[in-house]
A = this chain, B = another copy of it.
Amino acid sequence: MSYSDAVKNKMEDSGAEPGDRVEITTKDRKHVGVLMPASGGSEDVVVLKLDGGYNIGIDINGIVGVKRLPWKEEELQDGAVEGVPGTEVEGMPEVSVLMAGGTIASRVDYRTGAVKASVGEEELIGSNPELAEVASLETRVIMNTLSENMSSSDWVKIAGEVKKEIDKGKDGVVVAHGTDTMGYSSAALSFMLEDLSVPVVLVGSQRSSDRGSSDSNQNLVCAVRAATSDIAEVMVCMHGTTSDNFCYLHSGTKVRKMHTSRRDAFRTVNGRPYAKVDWETRELETVREDYRRKDEDRETKLRDGFCKDVALVKVYPGMDHSALESHLEGTKGVVIEGTGLGHVPIKNEEIRNVLEEYIDRDNIVFMTSQCLYGRVNMNVYETGVDLVDIGVIGNLHDMLPETAYVKLGWLLGNYDKEEARELMLENMRGEISERTEHKDLVKWEDEF
């Protein structure tokens, strides 16, 4: 939707457009902030993003005056044109933002209460004027899909679009994406983009940008900042804590959504994030040094086959062997989320038979753990040893179940079965940590 003619006229009188810094005077007081595009609430309500990051709505009928303001001195990069955020500046890094969908690309429709997509470039810049300080942006909508509805064909599409941007010579690519399955997608992009030459940063938000507590502004600005860095890896950029202080850059193969609603829901599991990006200063501080350096001369290759005949199966006490059997039907490989160090109830003859027969038909079974944290080790207990005896492969170390599932589908889509079986055990994209350092472990809450 757009603003009513009454609003448009009043704004035009002052020369202010969405994305401009304005002072709006009402009967009671003055409000200073960035004029936002119409948000879908009422076309007569002017939306202003205050300096504190909160949005307010002001009814046009209560507005006494509108004044367009120059940008604050410290907000201008050298060479930027005053009052014109998004100005392309010689020497500024060039970043592409691909919009794939999700909360970060959505606004709440205040009339219906539903979340609706709204993903234009104008709105993106308008909502996040800080972006102009960080990079010269090109924005493109590549799909508009809530991430819970994504499947492997969407991963192939996104990987291809990212490759196009890299081929254009961009300094980095940001993918705005839903959070539900962002960890699966980041793993898929990690595998599909080989010899990556520049940063590829997935970013989402847990709360839409028109909510006061939204994380979208910080996440997006930090993601664009990350895309200008020399970390040529697939990363996920999300809030590091529940406060607005910094974002983590997580490894695409080690990250998981660990909370349904918190802004810091995304965590690196079994490892350390690559870096932190400070929200206040935009400074990027690395946490690890073992990342691939940016090199625009390196040619990023796209290897985007994906075999859909794979499954991810979590086992549980009392799981029926026929449920397992039918879940495996038609698949060539499966990643099991076992219990503890990597176990399934192999003492149950029927379950043993299902696995044995599946493996005898030349299919592949890999073991991970539903504990999520820690390493699989099938040599400690009888159960593990028995599983290895019948051909279950357990040396995935600390690979996440979700990453293992994505990797298996990707390997079977690009390599023959024997190669896939071997490559599964190799650390190709940081999905396996050879050692676990104490500092890599999650710190549990222990302050009760």
Contacts and interface: CB of A to CB of B under 8 A. Distances in A.
A341 interface: yes
A6 interface: no
Interface in A345-376: 345-348, 369, 371-376
A31 B376 CA distance: 37
A284 interface: no
B329 A265 contact: no
Given A327-B323, A345-B149, A184 B317 contact: yes
B371 A148 contact: no
Given A240-B446, A448-B276, A259 B339 contact: no
Given A380-B115, A409-B318, A445 B448 contact: no
A377 interface: yes
B314 A314 contact: yes
Interface in A147-174: 147-152, 154-155
A261 interface: yes
A277 to B, nearest CB: 12
B257 A371 contact: yes
Given A320-B308, A373-B259, A340 B448 contact: no
Interface string A305-330: 00010111110111110110011011
A233 interface: no
Nearest to A274: B448
A94 interface: no
A262 interface: yes
Nearest to A345: B149
Contacts of A265: 371, 373-374
Given A260-B373, A337-B314, A382-B115, A448 B148 contact: no
A313 B319 CA distance: 10
Contacts of A329: 322-323, 326
A52 B320 CA distance: 46
B184 A446 contact: no
A147 B442 CA distance: 25
Contacts of A311: 319-320, 323
A3 B382 CA distance: 25
B371 A259 contact: yes
A81 B73 CA distance: 83
Interface in A231-249: 240-241, 248
Contacts of A133: none
Interface string A396-435: 0000001001000100000000000000000000000000
A272 interface: yes
A444 B443 contact: yes
14 contacts: A146-B382, A148-B338, A180-B340, A240-B446, A241-B446, A257-B340, A259-B371, A260-B371, A262-B373, A265-B373, A267-B444, A322-B330, A442-B445, A443-B445
List 9 A-B pairs, minimum CB-CB distance, nearest first. Answer: A260-B374, A326-B326, A180-B340, A148-B343, A443-B445, A180-B339, A259-B373, A149-B347, A259-B374
